[in-house]
Amino acid sequence: MPVPAAEPALSGFRLNLRIVSVVIFNFASYLTIGLPLAVLPGYVHDVMGFSAFWAGLVISLQYFATLLSRPYAGRYADLFGPKSIVVLGLCGCFLSGVSYLLAGFTSGWPMVSLALLCLGRVILGVGQSLAGTGSTLWGVGVVGASHIGRVISWNGIVTYGAMAMGAPLGVLCYRYSGLNGLALTIMVVALMAILFALPRPAVKASKGKPMPFRAVLGRVWPYGMALALASAGFGVIATFITLFYDAKGWDGAAFALTLFSCAFVGTRLLFPNGINRLGGLNVAMICFSVEIVGLLLTGIADAPWMAKTGVLLAGAGFSLVFPALGVVAVKAVPQQNQGAALATYTVFMDMSLGVTGPLAGLVMAWAGVPVIYLAAAGLVAVALLLTWRLKKWPPTEAISSQ
Which of residues 146, 172, 197 is at a domain's end? 197
Q: Looking at the 3D structure of the chain, how many domains does it have?
A: 2
27-41, 146-160, 341-355 — most confident range:
27-41
Q: Where are the alpha helices (DSSP H) in 106-147?
A: 110-143
Do 259 and 141 lie in one domain? The reply is no
Do 338 and 293 lie in one domain? The reply is yes
Which of residues 162, 197, 232 is at a domain's end? 197
d(CA 41, CA 109): 18
Please give the pLDDT value at position 39: 82
Query: Which has more confidence, 20 or 5?
Result: 20
55-69, 111-125, 133-147, 212-226 — most confident range:
111-125
Do 33 and 103 lie in one domain? The reply is yes
Please give the pLDDT value at position 263: 87
Do 314 and 355 lie in one domain? The reply is yes
Kindly state whether residue 398 falls inside one of the protein's structural domains: no
Range of the domain at 343: 213-393
Do 163 and 239 lie in one domain? The reply is no
Answer yes or no: is pLDDT of 2 > 90.
no
User: Is-contact 341 311, C-beta < 8 A?
Assistant: no
Which of residues 171, 197, 223 is at a domain's end? 197
As a whole number, mean pLDDT of residues 157-177 equals 83
Do 39 and 179 lie in one domain? The reply is yes
User: Which residues make beta-bridge pairs with 2?
Assistant: 205
Do 236 and 160 lie in one domain? The reply is no
Please, which pLDDT band fits residue 371 given cuts at 50, 70 and 90?
Answer: confident
CATH number (domain holding residue 75) = 1.20.1250.20
Q: Per DSSP, which regions of 144-269 are E strands? A: none
Do 192 and 237 lie in one domain? The reply is no
Kindly state whether residue 285 falls inside one of the protein's structural domains: yes
Tell me, what DSSP letter sits at residue 146?
A: G
Do 191 and 239 lie in one domain? The reply is no
User: Is-contact 37 59, C-beta < 8 A?
Assistant: yes
Please give the pLDDT value at position 329: 87
Please, which pLDDT band fits residue 93 given cuts at 50, 70 and 90?
Answer: very high
Please, which pLDDT band fits residue 3 given cuts at 50, 70 and 90?
Answer: very low
Count of CB atoms situated within 10 Å of the CB of 42? 13
As a whole number, mean pLDDT of residues 80-92 equals 91
